[in-house]
A = this chain, B = another copy of it.
Amino acid sequence: MAELRLGIVGATGVVGNEIIKIIQERKMEFKDIKLLASKKSVGKKVKFYNKDLVVEDLSEETFEDIDILLVAVNSDLSKKYSLLAAKKGVTVIDNSSAFRLKKDVPLIVPEVNSDDIDNHNGIISNPNCSTIIALTALNKINKYAGIKRMVVSTYQAVSGAGAQGLQELKEQISDLENNRDIKVKAFQYQIAHNLIPQIGPFNSDGYSEEEMKMQNEGRKIFNNPNLKISCTCVRVPVYRSHSESITIETEKEITVEKAREILSKSPGVKLVDDPSNSKYPMPLDTSNQDLIFVGRVRKDITSEDNKSLTLWCCGDQIRKGAATNAVQILEKVIEKKAYRN
């Protein structure tokens, strides 16, 4: 892989920054790395192994000498640059929602559907954070029992709104602590000591954009167009791990014991489920690492058969929910030689 030339668009954002960190943790080597960002970040130096990389400006020419491009900017910017890069023969791994539901764009959680990478046409999409977390957790249970319905309530960290979101919670807590007026910018309302049941705009059925991603992306990743997911997405005053309370209904019977056995062997998952000793996943324990912690596994007591389970999972939104998953896709692309050159 030392022969490949890598580019990272949005290198100075929260996710871009974490991608650079994870590439070094995993000791990945490239022939060349180009860090790209908007004008205001150009010239910034970023430590990479023992070199200083200088952030460069984005332009059409930039993509001439890049083989694989990781894109970690918003949907509008991604639409512009990902298409441009793909047209020039670059293989793009895009973190935004811009292309996720397009037919010729694989949407990948490596533990679940890495073979779908083979069908890419220049762009591969990284799913939404809460979707990655839920689907990594449920992957092997789905393979065993066939999930047909999910009811999900999320508890989403402020990092989902990027550096601004992290900063806003920190500042509001400090301002309230010091009897100063708070500022509200990244979220609709004060998030410190509060909950906001809105992530993204609402559709005419009353579901938020974030809530619909779970079903729309979940169907594609699990390759099950009939999968039904009803989701309530809530922003909580937690810094960087998302948590989800999930009830599933399956085609086939599955006991709690079987589910625990499956989860204990699921890739990317750590089973933390010992209620009598108060062991269960919590956002503080799951931050700054890559596994999805799953626990509180129990039979859905509203169901009469053995086809419904309830569980609780937590995962770092910036890492497995975004940056780590993107780097895992990058690794798979390299392993499969699925880049164009």
Residues of A within 8 A of B (CB): 149-151, 153, 155, 173-174, 177, 188-190, 193-198, 202, 205-208, 215, 228-230, 232, 234, 236-239, 243, 245, 247, 256, 275-276, 278, 280-284, 295-303, 310, 312, 314
Complex Cα–Cα for A280 and B233 (A): 13
Closest to A314 in B: B195
Q: How far is the CB of A234 from chain B (nearest CB, A)?
A: 7
CB pair A301 B193 closer than 8 Å: no
Residues on B with C-beta less than 8 A from A247 are: 151, 230
Closest to A158 in B: B193
CB pair A232 B195 closer than 8 Å: no
Instruction: Check A302/B206 contact, CB under 8 A, given A193-B239, A194-B282.
Output: no
Closest to A310 in B: B230
Complex Cα–Cα for A298 and B206 (A): 6
Residues on B with C-beta less than 8 A from A205 are: 298-299, 301
Having A177-B177, A206-B296, one finds 20 other A-B pairs with CB under 8 Å, namely A151-B151, A151-B300, A193-B283, A193-B284, A194-B282, A197-B245, A197-B280, A197-B295, A197-B296, A205-B298, A205-B301, A206-B256, A215-B301, A229-B301, A230-B247, A230-B302, A230-B303, A230-B310, A232-B245, A237-B237
Residues on B with C-beta less than 8 A from A206 are: 256, 275, 296-299
- The residue from B155, B193, B197, B297 contacting A195, defined by CB atoms under 8 A apart: B155
Complex Cα–Cα for A310 and B194 (A): 21
Complex Cα–Cα for A215 and B177 (A): 39
CB pair A198 B238 closer than 8 Å: no
Residues on B with C-beta less than 8 A from A174 are: 177
Residues on B with C-beta less than 8 A from A296 are: 197, 206, 232
CB pair B238 A202 closer than 8 Å: no
Which are the 7 A-B pairs with shortest beta-carbon distances? A206-B298, A153-B153, A228-B302, A202-B275, A153-B245, A232-B245, A194-B284
Complex Cα–Cα for A158 and B255 (A): 34
> Taking each of A284, A297, A303, which has the highest tally of chain B beta carbons within 10 Å of its own beta carbon?
A284
Residues on B with C-beta less than 8 A from A284 are: 189-190, 193-194
Residues on B with C-beta less than 8 A from A281 are: 197
CB pair B245 A282 closer than 8 Å: no
Residues on B with C-beta less than 8 A from A237 are: 193, 236-238
